[in-house]
Amino acid sequence: MAEKHNPDPIDVAVGARMRIRRRWLGLSQTDLANALGITFQQVQKYEKGANRVSASMLVRAAAALETTVGALVGEDSGADVASVVLTDLAAPGAAELLASFAKIRDGEVRRALIKTVEDLAGKASAKAPLALSA
Taking 3-state DSSP, the helix, strand and coil percentages for the chain, each rounded to the nearest 5, stand at 65, 0, 35
Fold of 9-77: 434 Repressor (Amino-terminal Domain) (1.10.260)
CB under 8 Å to 128, separation ≥6 — which residues?
none
b/e map 67-90, b = 16+ CB within 10 Å: bebebbeeeeeebebeeeeeeeee
- pLDDT given for residue 24 in this prediction: 82
Q: Can you give the residue ranges of every domain in the chain? A: 9-77, 91-126
Q: Tell me how far apart the alpha carbons of residues 49 and 67 are, in angstroms, rounded to a whole number.
A: 19
Q: For 91, which DSSP code?
A: S
pLDDT, one tens digit for every residue, the chain (134 residues): 555 678 888 998 899 899 988 988 889 999 999 999 999 999 999 999 999 999 999 999 999 999 999 989 988 755 555 666 766 777 788 888 988 998 999 999 999 999 999 899 887 766 655 554 44
Single pTM value for the model? 0.61
